[in-house]
Chains A and B, each alone.
Chain A
Amino acid sequence: MYRIMTPTLPLVLIVSAALFSIGLLAALSRRHAIFILIGIEMMLAAANLNFIAFWRFAPPPHPSTGVMIAIFSIAISAAEAAVGLAMVIAVYRHYRTTNVDEYDQLKG
C-alpha cells in the first residue's frame, strides 16, 4: 500500500500521460478555438511534467537539464499562447465566430 503511494517514476508518467490525453481530448473534441489552444497548452504541461519527472528520478550526479528544458518550454508556450490568442481574436473579428468548424476558408 505504502509502496504504491510513493510517487515513483511510472506513476508520475501515468499521470502525465493522462493529462496529455485529456489535453488531446480537449483539443480534438471542443469546438471553441480557445479550448483547442488550452488543450495544446495542457499537452505541453504534461510534457513538462515528464521532463521534471525524468530529471527528478535520474541517477545522481544529475545535470539540471530537465529543469532547464521545462523553463524554456514554459516560456515558449507562453509566447505561443499570446500569439495564439491574438490570432483567435483576429480570426474572430473576421468570422464573428470562434467555432473552428466554421473556419474552413483554407480548404483546397
Chain B
Amino acid sequence: MSGVAFILISILTLAAALATATLPNLMHAAFCFVLALLGLASFFFLLGAEFVGLALVFIYIGAVAVLIVFTILLTRRDSKEHHGVNWSGVLIAFAVFVGLIWAVLKTQSLSIVPPHIRALTVRQIGQTLMTGYVWPLQCVGLLLTAALIGALVLVMEEKK
C-alpha cells in the first residue's frame, strides 16, 4: 500500500511542482505550489515524520502561501508571466538534475531497506528541542523576530 501511495504522491508532488515552475497564470502557479507542498507533507507522513509534515502544512500553507498570494495580488500589475523562456535556465536545471540522478544512482551504500523504528512522538521532539537544541531554538526565535521586524520595516510606507 505504501508503495502505491508513494507513487501517487510522487506523481502529484512533481506534477504540481512542474506546474508551479511553468504555468503562466501566476495565481494558478501559486496554488500549485501549495499543492506541491501538500504532497511533500504527505511524503513526510509516509516517512513517519508526522510532526514535520504538520509543521510544513501549518507554516507553508497557513502562512507562507497566503503571503505569496498576497504579494502576487499586491504586485498585480503583471500577474501574467512575461513571455519568453529562459532556455539557459532550463538547460542548467536539467543538467543539475542529471548530475544529481547520476550521483544518487552511483552511490552504492544507499540501497538500504527501511529499518523498523518506533514512531517519533511529539513529546520526544519537544524534549529534544528543549534539551539538546535549546540554543538553536533560541537563535531561530531571534531570527524569526528579526525577520518579522525586518519585513515590517521593509513593507511599511515611508512617511513623507
Residues of A participating in the B interface, judged by any CB pair closer than 8 Å: 2, 4-15, 17-35, 37-39, 41-42, 45, 48-49, 52-53, 55-60, 62, 64, 66-68, 70-72, 74-76, 78-83, 85-90, 92, 96-99, 101
Contacts and interface: CB of A to CB of B under 8 A. Distances in A.
Contact of A86 (B75, B143, B150): B150
A96 B75 CA distance: 8
Interface in B62-93: 63-64, 67-68, 71-72, 74-75, 77-78, 81-82, 84-86, 88-90, 92-93
A91 to B, nearest CB: 9
Interface in B40-55: 40, 43-44, 46-49, 51-52, 55
A23 B16 CA distance: 11
A11 B96 contact: no
A67 B115 contact: no
Q: Report, nearest first, the 7 A-B pairs whose CB atoms are least far apart.
A: A5-B3, A28-B89, A21-B97, A79-B147, A26-B21, A25-B93, A86-B151
In this complex, the interface size class of chain B, counting residues with CB under 8 Å from chain A, is 35 or more
Q: Which of B20, B52, B86, B92 has the most chain A CB within a 10 Å cutoff?
A: B52
Nearest to B5: A7
Contacts of B97: 17-18, 20-21
Nearest to A37: B68
Contacts of B155: 86, 89-90
Please classify the interface of chain B as helix (H, G, I), strand (E, B), loop, or mixed, using the class held by over half of its residues: helix
Contact of A19 (B17, B44, B52, B113): B17
A17 B3 contact: no
Contact of A30 (B40, B48, B81): B81
B148 A82 contact: yes
Nearest to A17: B100
Contacts of A98: 75, 77-78
Given A21-B93, A76-B143, A67 B51 contact: yes
A31 B93 CA distance: 15
Contacts of A45: 36-37, 40, 56
Given A32-B26, A90-B154, A75 B6 contact: no
